[in-house]
């Protein structure tokens, strides 16, 4: 069977016919948001494909965050340490505390890019097993009811 996944750099445009249930084969348009002051307030509209886009955007974000250089990550770690020292020493200002929160968030995003896919796969396995467990329990219950009825 021919596979459908192509690397982004190796694009296949061989099929651009719309599907019967898809309004168009290329998805991603802008819609105007009522705005009095700016003509550029437009947001992308993905219609029924918004969820697919959201997943894609997350993947794209992770790819970007994975590309953070070791130098930049180390710089963030150093900055976090300096700000934490100030916090523990009781000399941190409000602005610095906000900066600390932002640096932590940035490091979290980098960590998510490194381990997020594995954790997502793990989470989906857990969901699958939980669903399986629920189905087995439902079957057990059904068998118990049937056994009761036969007695």
Partner 1 sequence: MSWCDKLASTPTVGFTLDWHFVPSSAILQAFSTILDKLVQDNKQMFTVERQEPFNLTFTTYDGYQYSIEPSKVAVSFQHRLKVKHVSGGPPTMELLSIPTPFSKLLPIVANKLIEAALLLPGAPARTISRIGIVSTTLVAIDEVPPGIARFIKYIGRPWKGSVDNFNVQIVADLNKTTKWSDRCVHLLVKPEDREQVPAVQFDWQRTFSSGQPLTHDSLKDIMASAETASLKYLEELAEGSQFDEDLIRSTT
Smallest distance from the beta carbon of 107 to partner 1, in angstroms?
Answer: 10
Total number of residues binding partner 1 (CB under 8 A)? Answer: 63
Secondary element (H or E) of residue 32: strand 29-32
Smallest distance from the beta carbon of 100 to partner 1, in angstroms?
Answer: 9
8 Å CB contact between 92 and 100: yes
The C-alpha atoms of residue 88 and residue 145 are separated, in whole angstroms, by 62
* Nearer CB in complex with partner 1: 19/146: 19
* Nearer CB in complex with partner 1: 19/88: 19
Secondary element (H or E) of residue 45: strand 42-45
Cβ within 8 Å of residue 47, ≥6 positions away: 23, 27
Smallest distance from the beta carbon of 149 to partner 1, in angstroms?
Answer: 41
Sign of the Cα pseudo-torsion (25, 28, 30, 33, in order): positive
The C-alpha atoms of residue 137 and residue 18 are separated, in whole angstroms, by 43
x/- site string to partner 1, residues 26 to 55, per CB under 8 A? Answer: xxxxx--x-x-xxxxxxxx-x--xxxxxx-
Q: Please report, as residue ranges, which positions from 52 to 111 form the binding site for partner 1 (by CB under 8 A).
A: 52-54, 56-61, 63-65, 67-68, 72, 94-95, 98-99, 101-102, 105-106, 109-110
Longest Cα separation, the chain: 77
**Residues near partner 1, by CB under 8 A:** 1-6, 8-9, 11-13, 15-19, 22, 25-30, 33, 35, 37-44, 46, 49-54, 56-61, 63-65, 67-68, 72, 94-95, 98-99, 101-102, 105-106, 109-110, 113
């Amino acid at each position: 069977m021919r596979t459908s996944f192509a690397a982004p750099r190796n694009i296949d445009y061989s099929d651009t016919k719309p599907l019967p249930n898809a309004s168009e084969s290329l998805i991603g348009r802008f819609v105007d948001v009522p705005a009095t002051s700016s003509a550029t307030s437009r947001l992308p509209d993905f219609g029924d494909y918004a969820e697919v886009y959201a997943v894609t955007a997350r993947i794209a974000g992770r790819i970007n965050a994975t590309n953070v250089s070791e130098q930049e990550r180390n710089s963030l770690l150093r900055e976090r340490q300096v700000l934490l020292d100030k916090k523990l020493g009781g000399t941190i200002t409000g602005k610095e505390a906000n900066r600390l929160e932002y640096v932590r968030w940035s490091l979290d995003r980098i960590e998510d890019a490194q381990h997020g896919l594995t954790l997502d796969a793990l989470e989906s396995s857990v969901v699958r097993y939980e669903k399986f467990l629920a189905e087995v329990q439902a079957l057990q219950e059904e068998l118990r009811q049937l056994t009761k009825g036969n007695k």
